[in-house]
Amino acid sequence: MKLEQMYEGKAKKVFATDNPDECIVSYKDDATAFNGLKKGTIRGKGEINNRLTNYFMKKLEEEAGVPTHFIEELSPTDTLVKKVRIVPLEVIVRNVIAGSLSKRLGAPEGTELKCPVLEFCYKDDELGDPMVNDYHILAMGWTDKETLEKIKEYAFKVNDYLKNFFSKIGIDLIDFKLEFGITSGGELVLADEISPDTCRFWDSKTKEKLDKDRFRRDLGDVEGAYQEIIKRVFSHE
């Protein structure tokens, strides 16, 4: 049962339930970029991101051994999840240079990386989510060493699983962002979402962008890109 709203983020709302260890995530069509400076709506995004996230959370638990917050899909836009305390880090994995890394290293987008790159950003909108390393994380006490090592292990497992999955449907997984949380029982689980809002997907042949960069960069047919991803993911079965 959906009780009071606990939180409203840029792309999702979170509601309490009658179980203190569970909450309901409700996906919105709202889109923002550049730390909230650019705002818009992507029609159908809420449903697509909810269904894609749940599909991958289930697969990651069953096939990659990565525990997640997923419990049950309640409707096209709503999902029951374990209530977690979010570790305040954006965990970014990159296979190909794009976005902020391209600017930072002065290397063109599309440059292959010789091995995956793992980055952490401290989740703080006012600070613009600054990039941090292991030392900052431990020195600030955002999580402990053991949990940090588990986060790294899970992040690479997610990358291996998703990269392989998407390669089979003709999509290059360029990079993505994950968030992790701690349940009331103290378990580290993958939380948040896995969707074209949080991953860069390029068509393997044409290198066409099929993700939120179409919105960020005004490339047009944003809805079509999200639909193409869900169509290819579900036709894979």
Q: CA–CA separation, 156 vs 168, rounded Å?
A: 19
Q: Which residue is nearest to ligand UDP (CB)?
A: 99
Q: Is position 195 an interface residue for ligand UDP (rule: CB under 6 A)?
A: no
Min CB(17)–ligand UDP separation in Å? 26
Q: Is position 192 an interface residue for ligand UDP (rule: CB under 6 A)?
A: no
Q: Is position 171 an interface residue for ligand UDP (rule: CB under 6 A)?
A: no
Contact range with ligand UDP by CB under 6 A, out of 60-68, 135-143, 153-161, 192-200: 192-200
CA-CA-CA-CA torsion sign (83, 119, 57, 27): positive
Candidates 23, 87, 199, 210: give the one binding ligand UDP (CB under 6 A): 199
Q: Is position 177 an interface residue for ligand UDP (rule: CB under 6 A)?
A: yes
Residue 62 belongs to what H/E stretch? helix 45-64
Spell out, one character per residue from 60 to 99, where the chain touches ligand UDP: x when CB under 6 A holds, - when not: ------------------------------x-x-----xx
3-state helix, strand, coil in the chain (%, to 5): 35, 35, 35
What are the backbone dihedrals phi and psi of residue 133, each rounded to the nearest 5 degrees, phi first?
A: -120, -175
Beta-bridge mates of residue 151 = none
What stretches of 91-188 show up as alpha helix (H) in DSSP?
A: 99-105, 134-140, 145-168
Interface ranges with ligand UDP (CB under 6 A): 90, 92, 98-101, 129, 175-177, 198-200, 212
